[in-house]
Amino acid sequence: MKLDKTSVNAIPSACEILESGFARLPDFDPAISGADRMAAVLAEAALRLQDNFPYFHPLYAGQMLKPPHPVAHAAYSLAMWINPNNHALDGGRASSAMEKEAVTEIAAMFGWSEYLAHLTGGGTMANLEALWVASRLHPGRKVLASAQAHYTHERISGVLGIPFEKVSVDSQGRMDMAALESNLAGGDVGTVVATLGTTGLGAVDPLPPILALREKYGFRVHVDAAYGGYFRLASNLAAPATAAFARITEADSIVVDPHKHGLQPYGCGCILFRDPGTGVLYKHDSPYTYFSSKVLHLGEISLECSRPGAAAVALWATQRLLPLERGGEFASGLEASRRAALRLADLLSTDDRFVVPTVPELDIVVWAVRAGSASEASVKSQQIFDRAAKEDLHLALIQLPVEFFTDCWPELVKDRPTVLCLRSVLMKPEHLAWLDRIYAGISAAYSD
């Protein structure tokens, strides 16, 4: 196994071009402390980094970890010779422009030409901004999210002092509409979070009926598409997910994480608001920034202050190489991951040893080990997880409520409230070619 070093090979010539842009400056020798020991320290760091799971390899089919594209590696490294700060144009003029261009392309992916948006340190910060804006526009009103939504929404609501409540889900992990309307009837809901791609199951909440309820009850709709947002470009989703992504343009705010399916290094999130007037809520004074230009400084529309301009440069370069368009090379990678998930789910569902409780909507597959009781099934899942890892096949685990198995596994003895299940996030396009090897590894881990 060899690490891809494409990005390393691309950097020297780009660095020369960058350096030529400052040729007018007088020469100077930068003081680099410890330069003579740098190689030794890097060698030691490389040895330390061996203590990791092989996130970059197709046999890592566990959590949602996807290697950045080599162009993102190279562009990020190139920008670090400048180390721009995208808070104000004073600290990152070129990288701020590149952030605006990259975000414009993301907004266009969601069908927006007018919006307010910027990058963030990740999905948590992006969702914080969305709920912070919601709390300013609907003060004191409750936030609702599905029981399968990311835990960050409940945590953020606590930080912001907003009432929060979970809404139950259907057998596929999607927000239950009857339960949602029952909660809305109380008249105290300000925001509903629709998750398009839950991090546990990859479930896509039914956005069209949520939007219909908005017309009746007048709440904000925030779409958390941190994981699933890029699947708007995929052409092989099932009808319910396709319908949800088709209506995402009608949301009040959207979060997407380029550091998930967008091929970016951590951390790179993005928050978008449909109403550009939302920017007035960010208004603040700073006595020592915002003086170099009358053009908008990104720090004027962000809760974060210092932000890495290198993240914007990496995203800009990646989207320059792989445009966000249907039928393009980027979209084909998403479609390959989706095909991989459907194939693994089919293999597992026709195997009497396993139970697949939900049909994958994106590229996440969850399955249980068939046994007499929830406790016994949970023990077997843990055993397969451990045995597979010893053979360099890395899966993940998830606790699912026993109710998920009522229809697909009626004979299950529900002696505990949850079943520990196995889970795979097949977000690398290469997973499709490795499916037979992955399934064989799962089977072998069961048989041991």
Q: What is the pLDDT of residue 88?
A: 83
212 and 316 assigned to the same domain? yes
Instruction: Report yes or no on 46 lying in a domain.
Output: no
143 and 244 assigned to the same domain? yes
Report pLDDT digits (tens) over 69-109. 999 999 999 999 999 998 888 888 999 999 999 999 999 99
End-to-end, the C-alpha distance of the chain in Å comes to 26
Q: What is the distance between the alpha carbons of residues 273 and 127, in angstroms, rounded to a whole number?
A: 11
Paired tokens of 196: 């398009």
Least confident of 1-15, 89-103, 142-156, 253-267: 1-15
Q: What is the pLDDT of residue 295?
A: 56
Q: What is the pLDDT of residue 288?
A: 45
> Which carries the bigger pLDDT value, residue 285 or residue 329?
329
Task: Count Cα atoms within 13 angstroms, Cβ side, for 162.
Answer: 30
Report pLDDT digits (tens) over 305-354. 889 999 999 999 999 999 999 999 999 999 999 999 999 999 999 999 99
Report pLDDT digits (tens) over 158-207. 999 999 999 999 999 999 999 999 999 999 999 999 999 999 999 999 99
Q: What is the distance between the alpha carbons of residues 129 and 226, in angstroms, rounded to a whole number?
A: 13
Is residue 286 very low, low, confident or very high in pLDDT (cuts 50, 70, 90)?
Answer: low
225 and 144 assigned to the same domain? yes
312 and 209 assigned to the same domain? yes
> CB 300: neighbour CB atoms within 10 A?
16
Instruction: Report yes or no on 145 lying in a domain.
Output: yes
Instruction: Report yes or no on 70 lying in a domain.
Output: no
Q: What is the pLDDT of residue 283?
A: 79
CATH number for the domain that contains residue 424 = 3.90.1150.10
302 and 354 assigned to the same domain? no
118 and 232 assigned to the same domain? yes
Residue 273 has pLDDT above 70, yes or no: yes
Residue 297 has pLDDT above 80, yes or no: no
Pairing of strands 364-369, 354-355: antiparallel
> Which carries the bigger pLDDT value, residue 290 or residue 274?
274
> Which carries the bigger pLDDT value, residue 284 or residue 123?
123
Is residue 31 very low, low, confident or very high in pLDDT (cuts 50, 70, 90)?
Answer: confident
3-state secondary structure 314-375: HHHHHHHHCCCCCCCHHHHHHHHHHHHHHHHHHHHHCCCCEECCCCCCCCEEEEEECCCEHH
Instruction: Report yes or no on 111 lying in a domain.
Output: yes
100 and 234 assigned to the same domain? yes
Paired tokens of 167: 């809404």
Of 165, 323, 334, 170, the closest CA to residue 245 belongs to 334
100 and 244 assigned to the same domain? yes
Compute the average pLDDT of residues 222-241.
Answer: 98
**If DSSP codes are grouped into helix, strand and coil, which group holds residue 418?**
strand
306 and 335 assigned to the same domain? no
Instruction: Report yes or no on 18 lying in a domain.
Output: no
Residue 291 has pLDDT above 50, yes or no: no
Report pLDDT digits (tens) over 434-448. 999 999 999 999 986
Q: What is the pLDDT of residue 68?
A: 96
Instruction: Report yes or no on 177 lying in a domain.
Output: yes
Residue 294 has pLDDT above 70, yes or no: no
309 and 346 assigned to the same domain? no
Q: What is the pLDDT of residue 448?
A: 60
Residue 290 has pLDDT above 70, yes or no: no
Of 33-47, 82-96, 211-225, which has the strongest mean pLDDT?
211-225
Instruction: Report yes or no on 289 lying in a domain.
Output: no
- Number of domains within the chain: 2
Instruction: Report yes or no on 56 lying in a domain.
Output: no
Q: What is the pLDDT of residue 284?
A: 59
Residues 425, 426, 429, CA angle at the centre, nearest 5°? Answer: 150
Is residue 396 very low, low, confident or very high in pLDDT (cuts 50, 70, 90)?
Answer: very high
Of 165, 245, 237, 153, the closest CA to residue 205 belongs to 245
Q: What is the pLDDT of residue 292?
A: 47
Residue 6 has pLDDT above 80, yes or no: yes
CATH number for the domain that contains residue 137 = 3.40.640.10
272 and 411 assigned to the same domain? no
Report pLDDT digits (tens) over 127-165. 999 999 999 999 999 999 999 999 999 999 999 999 999
Q: Which domain holds residue 216?
A: 93-283+297-321
Compute the average pLDDT of residues 418-433.
Answer: 97
Mean pLDDT in the chain? 94
139 and 271 assigned to the same domain? yes
